[in-house]
């Protein structure tokens, strides 16, 4: 009888949890980023509590104010400028003022004889067909990107509702995060070593993805947009944002944007602009990843680049922008669970030392 009651209660727990998740699903983005903000800024809140002992509400409010000042306000201002720039670019492409066919023809005409011969031997000798395909792809891609950004601008009300929910949730998670962490940890039906390993892995992935990958991508995109602006290239902010997103993907990076532009400069005789863009792209934008990422992420993530790439692209395909965090987090938890599983079957443990067992993620 007791066993039946336990199974019934377990089924009830699973059902209620799934039902609650279903109710919250429309706001999962706000909940996700509220949780991310709480994890990232929890150490700052603890430092403020040292300065403001016994004033948890005030410390949490101060933390949220700092988040608004250094993250939200700059993001809103950049988004407004991005929507305006994207709308102007979309209008120029639609009117024919910007024509990628002309750009491609200019580059193809400037190719040396050996390059044209190589393309002919490779089956790419039909410049007309190649030009049509590439220019069509570039035009469609640019129009799609610009239209998506304009669409984001048209959803301003929903954006601010989600933003308010995210900050509201982040306040309570920051204020009560340590207590909630302890309660969740106690409720998870695993042994202490496995719980410690899984929670540590989840926290590491969130911090590595946001503090490392996104910060590096923002810096690379900002530098790319800056050099595009200095070289008077159309829509530098929009291309900077595109470089930022591409920088989030291992083995792709911002060079997918700036390298074709440098080739166009060389083809049109703008030698110094081409040289400047190549040098800046290779030695400034490129080195940001090699210098900053190891310092920000460290060696704790321990996921191969191909796993990060596939999980990030899969997460984006299913969940959109939120997939940048959720995709790698699921991949890391998958690897952690399968690392623990063989040890659990043999009665051993690969978890960290026991002296960290009761500590919330810092």
| pLDDT band, residue 80 (cuts 50/70/90) | confident
Counting residues of the chain whose pLDDT is more than 70, the rounded percentage is 69
Q: Range with the lowest mean pLDDT among 165-174, 207-216, 331-340?
A: 207-216
Structure confidence at residue 200 (pLDDT): 74
Structure confidence at residue 270 (pLDDT): 81
Structure tokens at 181: 């962490």
Instruction: Say if CB 90 and CB 143 are below 8 A apart.
Output: yes
Asked whether the predicted pLDDT for residue 243 surpasses 70, the reply is yes
- Please state, in angstroms and as integers, the Cα–Cα distance from residue 103 to each residue in 137, 263, 268, 316, following that order: 13, 11, 9, 31
Structure confidence at residue 355 (pLDDT): 40
- CA torsion, ordered 84, 87, 92, 98, to nearest 10 deg: 80
Asked whether the predicted pLDDT for residue 353 surpasses 50, the reply is no
Asked whether the predicted pLDDT for residue 5 surpasses 70, the reply is yes
**268-286, pLDDT tens digit by residue?**
778 888 888 889 888 888 8
| pLDDT band, residue 66 (cuts 50/70/90) | very high
Tell me which of 168 and 206 has the higher pLDDT: 168
Structure confidence at residue 61 (pLDDT): 92
Structure tokens at 62: 């101060």
The whole-angstrom separation of Cα 275 and Cα 273 is 6
Structure confidence at residue 141 (pLDDT): 59
Structure confidence at residue 296 (pLDDT): 62
**pTM for this prediction:** 0.65
Structure confidence at residue 102 (pLDDT): 64
Q: Three-state SS string across the chain, please?
A: CHHHHHHHHHHHHHHHHHHHHHHHHHHHHHHHHHHHHHHHHHHHHHHHHHHCCCCHHHHHHHHHHHHHHHHHHHHHHHHHHHHHHHHHHHHHHHHCCCCHHHHHHHHHHHCCHHHHHHHHHCCCCCHHHHHHHHHHHHHHHHHHHHHHHHHHHHCHHHHHHHHHHHHHHHHHHHHHHHHHHHHHHHHCCCCHHHHHHHHHHHHHHHHHHHHHHHHHHHHHHHHHHHHHHHCCCCCHHHHHHHHHHHHCCCCCCCHHHHHHHHHHHHHCCCHHHHHHHHHHHHHHHHHHHHHHHHHHHCCCCCCCHHHHHHHHHHHHHHHHHHHHHHHHHHHHHHHHHHHHHHHHHCCCCCCCCHHHCCCCCC
């Amino acid at each position: 009888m007791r066993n039946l009651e336990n199974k019934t209660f377990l089924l009830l727990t699973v059902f209620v949890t799934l039902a609650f998740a279903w109710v919250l699903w429309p706001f999962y983005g706000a909940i996700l980023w509220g949780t991310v903000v709480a994890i990232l800024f929890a150490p700052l809140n603890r430092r403020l509590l040292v300065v403001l002992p016994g004033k948890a509400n005030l410390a949490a409010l101060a933390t949220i104010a700092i988040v608004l000042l250094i993250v939200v306000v700059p993001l809103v201002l950049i988004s407004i400028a991005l929507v305006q720039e994207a709308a102007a670019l979309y209008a120029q492409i639609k009117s024919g003022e910007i024509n990628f066919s002309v750009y491609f023809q200019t580059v193809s005409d400037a190719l040396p004889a050996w390059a044209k011969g190589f393309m002919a031997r490779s089956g790419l000798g039909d410049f007309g067909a190649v030009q049509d395909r590439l220019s069509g792809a570039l035009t469609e891609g640019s129009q799609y990107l610009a239209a998506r950004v304009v669409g984001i601008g048209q959803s301003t009300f929903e954006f601010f509702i989600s933003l308010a929910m995210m900050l509201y949730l982040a306040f309570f998670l920051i204020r009560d995060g340590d207590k909630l962490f302890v309660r969740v940890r106690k409720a998870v039906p695993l042994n202490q070593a496995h719980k410690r390993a899984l929670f540590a892995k989840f926290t590491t992935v969130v911090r590595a993805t946001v503090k490392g990958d996104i910060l590096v991508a923002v810096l690379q995109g900002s530098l790319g947009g800056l050099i595009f602006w200095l070289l008077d290239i159309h829509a530098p902010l929009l291309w900077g944002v595109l470089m930022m997103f591409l920088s989030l993907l291992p083995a792709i990076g911002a060079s997918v944007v700036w390298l074709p532009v440098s080739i166009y400069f060389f083809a049109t005789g703008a030698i110094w602009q081409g040289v400047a863009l190549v040098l800046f792209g290779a030695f400034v934008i490129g080195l940001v990843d090699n210098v900053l990422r190891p310092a920000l992420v460290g060696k704790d993530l321990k996921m191969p680049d191909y796993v990060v790439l596939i999980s990030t692209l899969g997460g984006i395909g299913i969940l959109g922008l939120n997939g940048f965090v959720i995709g790698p987090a699921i991949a890391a938890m998958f690897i952690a669970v399968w690392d623990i599983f063989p040890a659990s079957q043999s009665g051993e443990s690969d978890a960290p030392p026991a002296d960290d067992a009761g500590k919330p993620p810092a």
